[in-house]
A and B are shown apart, each in its own frame.
Chain A
Amino acid sequence: MLAILLPLLQASAQNPDATQVMMKCRDLSITGSMTGKMNLIITEKNGSIRNRTLSMTSKSYEGGLEKRLIRFLEPADVRGTAMLIIDNRDIPDEMWIYLPALKKTRRIVTSEKGKNFMSSEFSNADMSSPALSDFSFKYINTDRSGDQWVIESIPASDDKADEYGFSRRISYIDKDSYQTKKMEFYGFDNHLFKVIEIRDVILLRDGKYMIRDMAASNLLNGRKSEIVFSYLSEGTDIDDSVFTLRNLER
């Protein structure tokens, strides 16, 4: 009996609570403000590639509010198209989009966190920091090397599962840096359908970090999406006026 229980007791003694790990991991990945230039590369199953260059500016506020301004730089057809996203913690996100060719700004109201981010394999939730209360967490000890925590996140309710679009997610978190290295997403009959790999990060002060290069592979449709930052600046003082409709239409 003791022989059976001992490993479990040891594991319990060594590992902090899974929710605490996820909380620390989330806190380290949230930055106050940043500006950057990135490429969103979508590779279809047949090998055709679509590349968009975007500039992005974001700022976090107290209470979990986050604002982002994304502007298209390439391709030429959509140059100047811009989005202003207000990422609310508990109420549906708000999004404004400016279409320069039509000289129109429209507000889009959408509440689906599982929806694809700009038609890529990343979801809107992957691009933000979802509330921890939306999930329950537990360890899965499958990592042999012992330098990663393997934590399973399960949506707190059926509604949340519908919203996020998966039944469980397994995160591989580095024990030293609390950085997420990989996430696996499982469908509702427990099939693995998406894998996100964090390929490169920029280390900031106090252990915080920003993702510079990540890839999402959809195992169902064979598509792959990559986000690669060519320029990234953190902690710059960004004026609130950046996140206004006037600036969006500039």
Chain B
Amino acid sequence: MFITTGTVSLLIIPGIKTDPDIRNYIPKSIGSRAETDKIESEFGVQDMIMILFSDGTMVSRENLDNIRKIDRSVSRISGVGDRISPFTVKSIKSEEGMMVVEPLIRIIPSDTAGQRKLGKEISENRFAENIVFSHDLTSAAITATLSNMVPERLNLQKIDSVINTETGNLKILRGGLPYIRKYLLEEVNRDAIILIPAALVIMLMVLKASLGTWHSVLLPFGIVFVTTALSMALIPLLGWKMSIITVLVPVILIAVANNYGIYLVARFQELVLRYPDLTKKELIRLLLGTLNMPILFSGLTTISGLLGLMMHSIIPARQTGILAAAGVSAALLMSLIVVPVMIYVNNIDKFIRKKKTRTTERFEKFLGMISEIIIARNGLILAVSLSIVIMSGSGILLIKINTNQENYFSDKHPVREASKMINSRFGGSQTISVMIESDILDPGVLNGIDNITKWTESQDGVGNVFSISQIVREMSKVIYTKDEYGYDRIPDTREGIAQMFELYNMSGNPEDYRRLLNPSYTKAHILIKLARPENDVIKLVKSGIGELSKGFPGKVTTGGYALIMTDFANSIIRGQIFSLLFAVVTVFLLLSIVFRSFKGGITGSVPLIASIIVLLGFMGFSGIELDAATALLSSIMIGVGVDFTIQFIWCYNLTVNSGLSFTEAVPEAMRTIGRSIIINALVVMSGFAALIFSGFTSIRFFGYLVIISIGSCLLGALIVIPAILVRYRPGFIGFKTNKTSENEKTNVYAGYPSATVAGVGTKS
């Protein structure tokens, strides 16, 4: 059954499809998505690809020839829609009473004088400088929209093939959201194909080093493998797609699903060595008697914490919650059934190291030393821990939120280089769209559009802005002379505006025009490109437009991919904060019920809360930003933080119930469950070390942060919790764990919790 589930799941996994478009992660009902859809249904999709060229000068004959070849080839790809390139930009100028509309480059200049003249014309053309040529003429760009009638992947393949065959000496970069999506897809797939197996191999090696025999290793490892495969197989079975969030499902399972198996195997090894006279059946009963309840409780807490993600507004986050909860449930079930069965049907020797190694002895010595320090210096430990938590807490104020998906890539990644060039030289790669619904021919409305345009243009972090009011003003410059009334102004009458639009119809590119104004002149579009597409700029622009829209004679709708991205990241972060609070409350309630004490609930919640504060504080001080990936750390912390704490307190309680004092119980609990917890933490941390090789910056940071958070959960459970228990001797310790606890005083195996032994005695 176990093997069949894994095999069938593995066969289904190749059917997984990936969806890199973050727009689809957000429900259609959410503001920015709904408003963007509305604007795009009127003015077309605003996602653009950009092909960027750079060299000493772009106006040389050779470079312009190459750009023209590429531009022509790109124009002949059926999936390419509107295009803005050095060869499509028009020069609109007034010459001796004529309005001359002609291509900016009619003939490629062959001499220096011609090139200088072209450079001057570019600097004087507001539709060329910083749009198709950089200010210093060292780079040029072709911008194009892609038709959604052709699959984006095919369009990009064709463009790539054009670029690859006609590069010349030019350095060429590709950017824009379609390329960002393409690279995201490639990196997600790469991470899934390389890093997850790498994490599993590292885990396998660490498990082997910790548990000694292959039988001991393969049980928890097999559970991780099968549950991960099962969860991934659910993706196509449920009709879902892989996303940059659901790629974390295997990561969460690697962190959580092996815990239960490791506890069981490590504890079994310890029981065999301690009670060599017990039969296999008795050992298994003893094992389950001590571990089944804490495993069940920590499993259920983790599952409920993960299911808390179902209330998330982001679709893949909900899916991640369901998939990870399904995986953890399967891991819980398999651990409690398959592990004991496998131990039972195999020879005990296959799970036991032949003899204690020097490392094992050192490890036990180390645990003993830690216990002594906790007993002797518990006040100091608590004071230092509290100071660290308080200091870390101050770092939370420094946390920055990153909503820009360009930052997912490392500085040297080609798409990041392209984004930097677009943002610094070509007015920005990400956009905000503003749609105005009104009578656009009304001079009051068009002046209002002009006010929004001018205000937006003047904001720091905003690159190029395109609006119909700019075009009307530009045209007024060629209709009127500088000293005439009307120059660089919106006409005063609706007839004047209507006729200006007709003039543009005759002279400009009607497709450009349609991107800014609908044919019936009832809707206008302002396209804002962001030179710095960060959260603060986006918030500023959105709120500023909101202010300018008050009292505006028409309906103003604000959307665009930059806003979707901000909503996406903010929803993820809000959702995760909610999930964490949900988890903390769940853990508190569960531990309160288990320990029959609110104090017990509070004590048990300490490592989780402290770890969250330390982690967020570290992020604040180190400058690691909170983004869609790093925010999902909470899902792992829920599983790991809760698990370590429940296991330790449960075991400590059993030890105290067996007759040991609060002080004596520390080394005993440390030697038994402490060892398992440390093995668990080491395995998970080493597995996550694989993420450090991810192509995404934020996933790399995620790897570091997981190591820190699991490390702090480990210290919380093994240092801070025993220090609290020894110092304050809370009354909840001593709670009864099963019906046979009355017998605990009379059934004592030397140094071992009597309740569990009593369990063996009554059942056998």
Contacts and interface: CB of A to CB of B under 8 A. Distances in A.
A166 B634 CA distance: 56
B607 to A, nearest CB: 59
A99 B499 contact: yes
Interface in A88-115: 95, 97, 99-102, 104, 106-111, 115
A116 B512 CA distance: 12
A220 interface: yes
Contact of B502 (A81, A109, A115): A81
Interface in B65-113: 72, 75-78, 81, 97-102
Interface in A5-30: none
A109 to B, nearest CB: 5
A106 B76 contact: no
B15 interface: no
A78 B502 contact: yes
Dominant secondary structure at the B interface = mixed
A40 B751 CA distance: 98
Interface stretch (B252-260, B489-497, B644-652, B674-682): B489-497
A78 B499 contact: yes
A47 to B, nearest CB: 11
B510 A108 contact: no
B520 A220 contact: no
Contacts of A110: 101-102, 507
A147 interface: no
A42 B519 contact: yes
A189 interface: yes
Given A42-B519, A189-B77, A108 B507 contact: yes
B370 to A, nearest CB: 70
A109 B106 CA distance: 13
A236 interface: no
Nearest to A118: B505
Interface string B491-518: 1011110111011011101100100000
A99 to B, nearest CB: 4
B407 interface: no
Contacts of A99: 479, 496, 499-500, 502-503
Given A77-B441, A107-B99, A108-B99, A101 B78 contact: no
Given A50-B519, A102-B491, A107-B98, A118 B496 contact: no
Contact of A77 (B494, B507, B513): B494
Contacts of A188: 75-78
Contacts of A193: 78
Contacts of A44: 519
Contacts of A142: none
A200 interface: no
* Interface footprint category on A: 35 or more
B276 to A, nearest CB: 78
Nearest to A124: B506
Dominant secondary structure at the A interface = mixed
Interface residues of B, number: 37
B479 A102 contact: yes
A72 interface: yes
Contacts of B100: 107-109
Given A110-B101, A111-B102, A188-B77, A83 B499 contact: no
Contacts of B147: 220
A187 B76 contact: yes
A30 to B, nearest CB: 24
A101 B499 contact: yes
A162 interface: yes
A106 B503 contact: yes
A42 B510 CA distance: 13
A50 B496 CA distance: 19
A118 B507 CA distance: 9
Contacts of A115: 509
A116 B510 contact: yes
B385 to A, nearest CB: 64
B510 A101 contact: no
A78 B498 contact: yes
B76 A167 contact: yes
A77 B499 contact: yes
A145 interface: no
A88 to B, nearest CB: 15
Contact of B506 (A48, A75, A77, A83): A83
B659 interface: no
A95 B100 CA distance: 10
B499 A100 contact: yes
A237 interface: no
A83 B350 CA distance: 95
Closest 5 A/B residue pairs (Cβ): A188-B76, A77-B498, A101-B495, A107-B98, A106-B99
13 contacts: A50-B520, A78-B502, A97-B506, A100-B499, A102-B496, A104-B480, A106-B99, A106-B503, A108-B506, A118-B506, A162-B72, A188-B78, A220-B149
Given A108-B98, A220-B81, 5 more contacts: A72-B502, A78-B495, A104-B479, A109-B99, A187-B76
